Amino acid sequence: MNVTHTGQVTYSAPVSKGIILLRIKLTEPDSVDFKAGQYLAVLLPDSDKAAYYSIASSPSKAGEVELLVKEDEFGAGALYLYSLKEGDSLQLHMPMGSAFLREDSDRNVVFVAGASGASYIRSMIHYLDESNHLAHREIHYFLGCREEDELLESDYMHALADKYQGFHYHPALSDQEDWDGHTGLITDVVERLMPNDMSEWEAYSAGSPAMVKAVADLLIANKSLMPASFFSDMYTPEI
């Protein structure tokens, strides 16, 4: 895979349990044209291997990209990215993926993420907020994690829900007892809270391939979502 961009790490720190945020300033070339929801490949040094990560930042910041990287003691990509310090450079291939935010649409949207899949959704929500596209439509964001300290940017999401009447944030935990929010599988929460006729909606989802397929099956079979309105780079329903 060819290098399209070289970047330099300007920030690396944990943002939730088991996830770091890595900010990369683009050096050569010094900007990237991408759409919210696309991903990139990190080229691993001394290897022909690449590791794939959603671009977690908004495209309005063209001179940098942010990645949210899940800790994985066996994953070569995760180990490499965790080893990088401020000032280190790295090689990237981007943009990639077709499950990006449809900007020409003003339909209602449901976002469904599992754990580090929140990275994919983050780019789109930040972009919609910055470009004033969160008002005048219904947006529901479901985020499923095991425990509360794995949730990403909950304060920001709650603040958006306070600010915009149509924005709804639904975190759900599967493995924590002392929590008075939603519990259980994220698909069960989506089933319970979303209307039965979603034929005019669009959906974006990321997480494990099994979770994304379960979300697509549920929305299409039980909620009348059009298969062509389901977007994910992890699973594509038959159209």
Q: Give the one residue of 22, 41, 69, 139 binding ligand FAD; rule: CB under 6 A.
A: 69
Q: Tell me the DSSP string of 3-41.
A: --EEEEEEEEEEEETTEEEEEEEEEESS-----TT-EEE
Identify the CA nearest to 134 among candidates 104, 163, 171. Answer: 163
Q: How far apart are CA 192 and CA 127, in angstroms?
A: 28
Q: Which two tokens stand for residue 7?
A: 């970047």
Please report whether residue 94 would count as binding ligand FAD according to CB under 6 A: no
Q: Which of residues 39-58 bind ligand FAD (CB under 6 A)?
A: 39, 51-54
Whole-number Å distance between alpha carbons of 194 and 75: 36
Q: Identity (one letter) of the amino acid at 230?
A: F
**What is the DSSP-derived secondary structure letter of residue 233?**
S
* Position 187 contacts ligand FAD (CB under 6 A): no
Least Å distance between CB 47 and ligand FAD? 10
Please say which residue, 111 or 223, places its beta carbon nearer to ligand FAD.
Answer: 111
Residue 116 in contact with ligand FAD, rule: CB under 6 A = yes
Q: Which stretch binds ligand FAD (CB under 6 A): 58-66, 74-82, 106-114, 152-160?
A: 74-82
Single residue of 17, 61, 72, 102 touching ligand FAD by CB under 6 A: 72
Q: Which residue is nearest to ligand FAD (CB)?
A: 75
Alpha carbon distance 213, 215 (integer Å): 5
Chain residues in the site for ligand FAD (CB under 6 A): 39, 51-54, 68-70, 72, 74-78, 97, 116, 119, 233
